[in-house]
Amino acid sequence: MEPVPSSHFYPSFFLQFAFGFVPQFYQRKWGRIFTAVGVFTFLRLPYLSGLPMVGSYQLVGLFLGSILGIWMREFILVLLGRNETALPKQSEQILTDWMIRNPTGKSNLPIWYSTYFGFVFFLFLLTVLCLFQYQGLGLVSGLGIQEYLYFPSLSSREAMGLSSKILVPISLAVLYLFSEERSMPTPSKDSLSEQLRFGIFLGLGINLLVMSIQSIVSLEFFSEGTLESVKAGRSTGLLQDSGSASWIIPVLSLMWISKLIHNWRKSKERFSLVLAILSFLFVTWVGLKQGKAFWVVWSITNAIGIIHLTTDLWIVSITKRRILRVVLYLLIPILGFFTLYGLSFLQKDWDLVTLAKRTMDAFPVWRKDPYLALERMDHTRAELLTICMEGIKNNLWLGNGIGSFPLALLDPFRVGTKTSIGMIDFPPNFYLWIVHDLGILGLVIFSFYIGLFLWERGLGKQALLLVLPLFFGVQIQNSDGAFLCFYLVLLGEKGTGFSASFDKLRKTVWFSPLILILSLGLPLNYALFYSQRYWDLGIGSEFRKTQLKEYQTAATLPPRSPNYEYEFHGKVWEWKLSEFGVARSGRIFLETTDRSPVVEILFLNSDRKIIHQELFSETKQGYSWSGECPKGASLIRLKSRYRLEFRLPRAQFDGNNRIQF
């Protein structure tokens, strides 16, 4: 969707694709490990040239390679008769070994009874609604990707690209996990969970190594594409930016330390305990170069973990253990407050000290004016909160569309609070985002799917790892965060498989059809209600024409300094003719290096019927036409046999974006 430089997109895309496809085709185990490692190490591969972040394509190659590798592997194995015939003879050793490495992966359930099926269908409908809103049905191009200005300074492709920034990571992460589970040889999730977890921990280790180098040597080490993270003095590892690192590192580190503690308690092996303690100290040291979210997530989760571990080791009575845990839970915020109070006196340039000073500054006014307290804590988040609440009030039930918040910040015609920051961001936390974008009805549907997954897998405790991080941002907006979130919710770190209560109901005659009806019916109703707004506002370019009250130029890129030229990509363009007589005769010059055997201009009346047509003449710098509009012409249409990329000066259009000669 986004105009991305091909010289930077294709090399990283094919490298990621191969990194996901080849191991998956070779063997399930190594495919999962390589994919999990790639998620946390390849994310900024397109930006290592120093380009700023441009959107949603960071891990498209990796996920597509992994998904296609899974599908092709299973498809070929079935064609070879893996399930019906004996293994090949010894003379065909390579094929025999490949089949042994990849045993039967057939699921016991039809695909439409899978809990993933409804979720994937919901994401598909959100994609279609997004396509209709930003692209739609064009009178010239039909259904597809149109080229026009959504805002005076933003093209339609860039507008949909902002929505795709969150839609693409969600869809690809869910589709990948769905593909993995469908290729499992049994309904058990144990091996899948363990293999993905091994790759995740390996990715964590690589990121901690890079972070230590950034902390000791230079923050510039492998930091290209992290926006303002380096300027803020924060280490990012190979993750998206410091915002991602500040919650991914503590969550993954907690999973790693919990695994070590579990091994120690099970085997009484001291090495695991010593390694857990060293890991805790090392991650805490790395956290000195992290954002405020790191310290909140790391401190609270470790406090809860220590309370659980010590009470399990020292208190036998279950009743006493529970009572003591509740008391200690209540002491956590009190202890945290006094810790921040003490840190506020330090003269250190650490985010933790900054958090402490802001907390002490906001605490006196918290009860009288909560918003002022939030503004003192974080001015940017306070602004985003206000803008988000204004958007929620405008479309409470159905929301504003998936990924619409960044676009709202760029909307010059939006009435309400304007942001003072130059960076385009998402709402301050996940819960506000889902209401802003999907509304209350969308929240109900999303919660239905997530609740269904948690119930099916018995992973309610596992999902608690995400409660705190989701308060500090929309953690599924980037591919690394989306993968980790859906891994914990849809699959689970422990790999417990199906819960007993869900499995019992699944065996009944009525339960699975009921789930299928709800999984399809709820999204269809949402799409039906949401699409009603198109009747009044139009679709695609017509929608923006109503909003902007001017004609579209069909430009891919708006005019920018120093030449102030529109840039057009495609084969067909249509423009409204200026109504002024002096502007209806002259010359049109298409500046381009591309070549096409035929480029013609067609004149149409108000009913879009062709009344005259001529050919452009080819020059060294492009294509040229000069003449006068025939009587009765209201529009002109340019058609090229081959795709062109050409430029026209802004002076070629009047104040209402009508073409003039």
Cβ neighbours of residue 257 closer than 8 Å, sequence gap 6 or more: 276, 279, 280, 305
Residues 133-189 have pLDDT tens digits of 887 655 444 555 666 667 777 777 778 888 888 899 999 999 999 998 888 765 555
pLDDT the model gives residue 494: 53
Task: Name the residue ranges covered by the structural domains of the chain.
Answer: 1-104, 113-183+394-547, 550-652
DSSP, collapsed to helix, strand or coil, labels residue 599 as strand
- Tell me what pLDDT residue 107 has: 57
Q: Which of 209, 239, 206, 199 is nearest to 223 (CA)?
A: 239
The predicted pLDDT at position 37 comes to 96
Predicted local confidence at residue 455, as pLDDT: 87
Give phi and psi for 348, each to the nearest 5: -120, 145
Contacts of 275 (CB under 8 A, 6+ apart): 260
For the record, the structure tokens of 264 come out as 């120690």
Looking at residue 156, what is its pLDDT? 76
Q: What is the spatial distance between Cα 261 and Cα 269, in angstroms, rounded to a whole number? A: 10
Q: Within the chain, which residues score under 70 in pLDDT?
A: 1-8, 46-57, 81-92, 104-108, 136-149, 185-190, 227, 422-423, 492-498, 537-554, 581-583
Helix H, strand E, coil C: the string for 205-245 is: HHHHHHHHHHHHCCCCCCCCCCCCCCCCCCCCCCCCCHHHH
Question: Buried b / exposed e across 346-374, counting CB within 10 Å, b at 16+?
Answer: eeeebbbbebbbbbbebeeeeeeeeeebb
In 3-state terms, what secondary structure has residue 563?
coil
pLDDT value, residue 390 = 93
Per-residue confidence (pLDDT) for residue 592, from 0 to 100: 92
pLDDT in tens, 45-82: 766 544 544 444 678 889 999 999 999 988 888 777 66
Does the structural domain 550-652 have CATH classification 2.60.120? yes
Residues forming a β-bridge with 646: 568
**Measured distance CA(411)–CA(398) in Å, rounded:** 20
User: How many angstroms separate the Cα of 258 from the Cα of each of 301, 328, 453, 497?
Assistant: 11, 20, 23, 20
pTM of the model: 0.84
Locate 621 and state its tokens. 């710098």
Give residue 254's Cα distance to chain centre.
24
**Alpha helix ranges (H) inside 80-148:** 93-101, 115-134
**pLDDT for 105:** 58
